[in-house]
Amino acid sequence: MHDATSNRVPAAFFPSYDVLSPRTQTAPFVFSSPHSGRIYPPEFLAMSRLDPKTLRRSEDCFIDDLFKPVARLGAPLLSARFPRAYLDLNREPYELDPELVDEPLPAHANSQSVRVAGGLGTIARIVADGEEIYAGHLSLEAVMTRINQLYFPFHAELSRLLTATREDFGYSVLIDCHSMPSTAMSPGGSQRPDIVIGDRFGAAADPRLTLLIRDEFQRRGFKVQLNRPYAGGYITEHHGRPARRSHAIQLEINRGLYIDELTFERTNGYKKLAEALEEIVSALFAEVPALLSYRTAAE
């Protein structure tokens, strides 16, 4: 067992998220970056059997930085400060792993999901390439403390931003921003595309929006796939309700475009990607209102 301090959330994780807000929101968009947190405090490292560099393999490295310009262009960006290896915001709140927790799980826990079976529940048991994070078990109290103090505040703020956007514009578009390894994890893994756009196979967003985003990336030379291998996780599924004027897209960016995947250092491709993303966001802000053609709340 770990000592009692392992039940506390490290003070370095507070505030648990950052919101980069525009002076005035002029676009019906909200951007989120739930996996780019890169604070690894000593308390967490002491609990883990892995070094910081190995823990970072689950991190969406610099995705929050890449999307910072959206605030200047007129939309808010919500990003987590804590790492995905500590708590995964793109899961149901209680996707809990019975192999990780040393006590019986509560009845409302979902311990049978495919993600839990793979070791990647709300509190991950492994990092992206399969290495165990912890030397032992976690207490149920420690798990619930993370969920209560980190998970629910982030999701409450995301819901608040989306609700305010719909009130102001009549609809909302959530872009949930992620990165992916350049190759599949399996032995001899195939090369991934540059961009994967996930809309839950049309269930989470108007297909015209999905295709517009695809076209904007392809126009700039990016290789794009829709919904494979990532169709969108919990955030996209939970907030993607086109019939309620709430659209959600999961955007996956190939890490090989902008970082060295072994050292996590920015490469020369970073600046080019950042410039392309700013162009694409500007184009979307200009084109989406006419495309979706909702009457605004003010009207």
Question: Tens-of-pLDDT digits for all 299 residues of the chain?
Answer: 344 347 899 999 999 999 999 999 999 999 999 999 999 999 999 999 999 999 999 999 999 999 999 999 999 999 999 999 999 999 999 999 999 998 999 999 999 999 999 999 999 999 987 899 999 999 999 999 999 999 999 999 999 999 999 999 999 999 999 999 998 655 556 789 999 999 999 999 999 999 999 999 999 999 999 999 999 999 999 999 999 999 999 999 999 999 999 999 999 999 999 999 999 999 999 999 999 976 544 44
Q: 79-113: string of b/e by CB count within 10 Å (b at 16+)?
A: bbbbbbbbbbbbbbbbbbbeebbeeebeeebbbeb
Angle at 216 between CA 214 and CA 219, to 5 degrees: 105
Question: Rounded to two decimals, what is the model's pTM?
Answer: 0.95
| Partner residues linked to 48 by β-bridges | 134
Q: Which of 237, 233, 217 lies closest to 225 in space, CA to CA? A: 217
User: How far is C-alpha 196 from the chain's CA centre?
Assistant: 13
Q: Which CATH superfamily is domain 15-83+151-292 in?
A: Zn-dependent exopeptidases (3.40.630.40)
One-letter amino acid at 9 equals: V
In this predicted structure, what is the pLDDT of residue 129? 79
In this predicted structure, what is the pLDDT of residue 189? 63
Quickly tell me which residue has 């290495």 as its tokens.
131
Q: Which is it for strands 172-180 and 246-254: parallel, antiparallel or unpaired?
A: parallel
| Partner residues linked to 277 by β-bridges | none
13: tokens are: 């994780």
In this predicted structure, what is the pLDDT of residue 2? 43
What lies within 8 Å, CB to CB, of 125 at 6+ separation is 97, 99, 100, 119, 132, 133, 134
In this predicted structure, what is the pLDDT of residue 184? 67
In this predicted structure, what is the pLDDT of residue 240? 98
Q: Which of 152, 148, 158 lies closest to 32 in space, CA to CA? A: 158
CB 30 within 8 A of CB 162: yes
